[in-house]
Amino acid sequence: MRLLITAGPTREPIDPVRFLSNRSSGRMGYALAEAASKAGHEVLLISGPVSILPPANVELIRVETAREMFDAVRIHLPGCTAAIFSAAVADYRPAHTASQKIKKSATTLTLELERTEDILGSVRSHFAFTGFLVGFAAETENLIAHAQDKLSRKGCDLIIANDVSQPGIGFDSAENEVTLCLPGGQTIPLPRQSKTTLARELIAHISRLSSLKSPK
Ligand code: CTP
């Protein structure tokens, strides 16, 4: 496979020294990139700011904002046979970025936010990607129902669903426990394990399912 993977958080600037972001460490996406590369796949990793080292033999494109990640995906997706969207993209950004540091004055400050680009949601509709498409669903309730809904709304072939209400897994953790959601309502639960071993298992599933979709 030639595989595009998005990973990490995005940063949406408020002023020259502040931004909106989230707790994503990038570990799941980086572990997937490493597992895929070790399994012999060609990997392009599009990453928001993280503090971990990129795996060897992976082409890395660094971005900061959701818009930059959107542009990088749009440019690099053609030619890929599969794509995994593991980045925790900010859903909103400040509607205006101040050109100078905002000084404190009133006791409250209201920020107006606007929606960012839905990168995964654009892959089929705007980028006309026909390869194997994998999204993540991080949910705190009704995990499978929300994941199945995301699968059909975004035209995915697979959603990797994780329950982020459980302590010790998912966001900013070394471990994860996920359920694979496939078209037709099929689900495959995978046990709690390190992101490294889970990544190997996920790449094996993705490689198998993607070759079933488009046999070589
Ligand atoms: N995603 C993306 N671009 C965004 C937001 C999310 O590519 N602007 C991708 C994530 O990388 C992940 C998937 O979409 O693979 C699910 O993200 P989530 O925010 O849970 O999806 P939404 O459909 O926006 O769900 P919700 O209604 O729960 O906000």
Catalytic residue status for 22 = yes
pLDDT in the model for residue 199: 97
Q: Whose alpha carbon is nearest atom 12 of ligand 1?
A: 136
Q: Compute the distance from residue 201 Cα to the ligand 1 centre, in Å.
A: 23
Question: What average pLDDT does the segment 140-153 reach?
Answer: 95
Question: What average pLDDT does the segment 47-75 reach?
Answer: 97
pLDDT in the model for residue 166: 82
User: Which ligand 1 atom sits closest to the C-alpha of 6?
Assistant: 11
pLDDT in the model for residue 215: 60
Tens of pLDDT along 170-187? Answer: 677 788 899 999 999 999
* Euclidean distance between CA atoms 69 and 90, whole angstroms: 11
Which pTM was predicted? Answer: 0.95
Tens of pLDDT along 80-120? Answer: 999 999 999 999 999 999 999 999 988 999 999 999 999 99
The residue count for the chain: 216
pLDDT band at 165 (very low <50, low <70, confident <90, very high): confident
Side chain identity, residue 159: I
User: Which ligand 1 atom sits closest to the C-alpha of 91?
Assistant: 8
Q: Compute the distance from residue 86 Cα to the ligand 1 centre, in Å.
A: 9
For ligand 1, residues with CB inside 6 Å are: 6, 66, 85-87, 89, 91, 116-120, 135-138, 150
| Long-range own/partner contacts, residues 63-68 (CB < 8 A, 24 or more apart) | 63/10, 64/10, 64/11, 65/10, 65/11, 65/12, 65/13, 65/90, 65/93, 65/116, 66/10, 66/12, 66/90, 66/93, 66/116, 66/117, 66/119, 67/93, 67/116, 67/117, 68/10
| CATH match for 2-92+114-213 among 1.20.1250.20, 3.40.50.720, 3.40.50.2000, 3.40.50.10300 | 3.40.50.10300
Q: Compute the distance from residue 137 Cα to the ligand 1 centre, in Å.
A: 7
Other residues' Cβ atoms within 10 Å of the Cβ of residue 175? 15
